[in-house]
Chains A and B, each alone.
Chain A
């Protein structure tokens, strides 16, 4: 589904990402871990064509993302709060995204009604603007908006951060269902090794822009990851 070839990104000569080849098959739940500055967000931004690759390319369903926009109809993402429109209510935001993705109000309502548990009664029908919601609730709205329109590829950057424990558990269930039952390709990044091993079939470790580990998740994966991160005592770099 997603194929990355010779991809690199550098700022003023400093390489921040360098991936020779990476293939993510359809329906895989793919986890990206790494310390700050490892290049996780950079990779996702390249995948969404928000920044220009220095060399190489990414194809999404055989479409080169920085040459054509045809990947957009089946790809959705929530990277950070800048994906939200602060002066809309969550419902209006969902309908707006729905409009862009060819879903009418009824379709959107049908989808969001599945997430009543997840929203915990704090999102829908509150007559509040998104900008007035708490960080956690903003994130919930953003994640659900990324599920509108039956996307085939969903990209979530740090989906577990800022969420309360109950919501984290519910989110894990939602993501697992999407990958297993509906064949959606899911890409997430996380600092939480436990969550990511729970959700993802495959985990790739980035370190200073390079792929250093590519693991198929097994019961031993969590231990291996913990050992990997504990073993390195290099200074942590700046936030990417």
Chain B
């Protein structure tokens, strides 16, 4: 049975249009993986000498155990955002003579083979070897190593439990962040020293091999719990039962003042508000607005005048970036209909443009309080907003014509990379790096005012040539029409 599943997996992976069409992205991922492996290997071999250097009067083994708490919570956080429970299309299997528990065991077993579980091994094993070479008793180090591997797996399954519970809610990542934040807070303010507790636990296991049964028991518990959750989900009615939500109709009459593009604006606003995936871009606006707070309160960054426009582009353009990068893929599920309807492409695109422009204006107004950190910041933000409206919005629309991936609007919202292709990576260059470079150069050669002026002038040039640019962009979309229709009607 497992053999069948494995061949199914294999075919699913290599026959997906995603794999075939995204060789570049796959290569990038492989490089990323190699990069992390190298870093972890370096960490595994280098940690012992480093610790001896930094804490000469402490046992490095004890120091490492003291850091375990932080590793666990960071790992948990990373996994929550990046790792997803492997999916298996079970519907066709349900009517076949296969035990439900076999399917569940397979899915869970597969998750244990995730890259996230192997990555720590690249650090743990070399470090253990180094410890033994350093004269620690092998039996102790080996027990410790196995305990760590068990903990990796516990985190693996614990993550899926957390995901299962938080997936239902709109802001799924808030509870986890709250819990982790509380734990960290308790530790940081020495209310309960969790880090030393966990450190002691690891020391205990290393000294008394029998205690390894505790993490083993925890692992089995997590596995069993996952098994239970998943098995309940393995009935058709669980996935078929669609939650029918009562419609709240908002009055969008104010869009009428935009004339012939009003129907599209109403559609876009409903699109944003009524779908999980798009709704998150509204919440991300809040995060984007606060982005500047990472930088401005610190004196180091406040002196780096050349990063102001970069932050400004991000703060005022967060919605533009988030929403714009998937134009027109947001409409991919009914793109065929739009194309056969009596619409002018130009109106359709202008509606998106107006929406992005409005968002930039709104974000700029909301970001005015940053003036507290200096008037230069306000001016830089203003220049960035003008640049966003004049240049970046057009770049976004133009880049959109290269989008070839369907977006499933009903998927989970935050940290969903479905529909992301090379376009989204490439477009970031002109969007954020270019204005930063232009400004940095002008700032360095001519001074702050000149840099700001150049950004504003570029933005105004874009606004002046708006009609011309839109014609160009519309032509691009018309040329790519058949390709887009074809691509959007395929599932990845």
Contacts and interface: CB of A to CB of B under 8 A. Distances in A.
Most buried by A among B245, B274, B334, B482: B334
B274 A83 contact: no
A86 B409 contact: yes
A30 to B, nearest CB: 18
A101 B340 contact: no
A83 B334 contact: yes
A51 B336 contact: no
A131 B274 CA distance: 11
A84 B340 CA distance: 12
Contact of A82 (B275, B334, B342): B334
Nearest to A79: B336
A67 to B, nearest CB: 11
B322 interface: no
B342 A52 contact: no
A49 B339 CA distance: 8
A204 interface: no
Interface stretch (B23-31, B47-55, B262-270, B290-298): B262-270
Interface string B340-370: 1111000000000000000000000000000
Nearest to A72: B342
Contacts of A128: 244, 247
Given A51-B486, A52-B482, A84 B342 contact: no
Contacts of B244: 128, 132
Interface string A67-92: 00000110111010011111111001
Nearest to A73: B342
B334 A99 contact: no
B250 to A, nearest CB: 11
- Chain A at the B interface: mostly helix, strand, loop or mixed? loop
A50 B336 CA distance: 7
Contacts of B333: 82, 85-86
A132 B245 contact: yes
A86 B278 CA distance: 14
Contacts of B263: 96, 99-100
B245 A129 contact: yes
Contacts of A92: 249, 270
A166 to B, nearest CB: 24
Interface residues of B, number: 30
- Chain B at the A interface: mostly helix, strand, loop or mixed? helix
A142 B489 CA distance: 18
A83 B339 contact: no
B485 interface: yes
Contact of A49 (B275, B340, B486): B340
A153 B51 CA distance: 79
Contacts of A97: 341
A87 B409 contact: yes
B270 A87 contact: yes
B246 interface: yes
Contacts of B489: 82
A38 interface: no
A88 B341 contact: no
29 contacts: A48-B340, A49-B339, A50-B340, A50-B485, A51-B485, A72-B341, A72-B343, A73-B342, A79-B336, A82-B333, A82-B335, A82-B336, A82-B337, A82-B489, A83-B334, A83-B340, A85-B337, A87-B274, A87-B275, A87-B409, A88-B267, A88-B270, A92-B270, A97-B341, A99-B263, A101-B342, A127-B246, A127-B247, A132-B244
Interface of B: 242, 244-247, 249, 262-263, 266-267, 270-271, 274-275, 333-337, 339-343, 409-410, 482, 485-486, 489
Sorted nearest first, the 9 A-B pairs with minimum C-beta distance are A99-B263, A83-B337, A87-B274, A72-B342, A48-B340, A127-B247, A73-B342, A132-B244, A52-B482
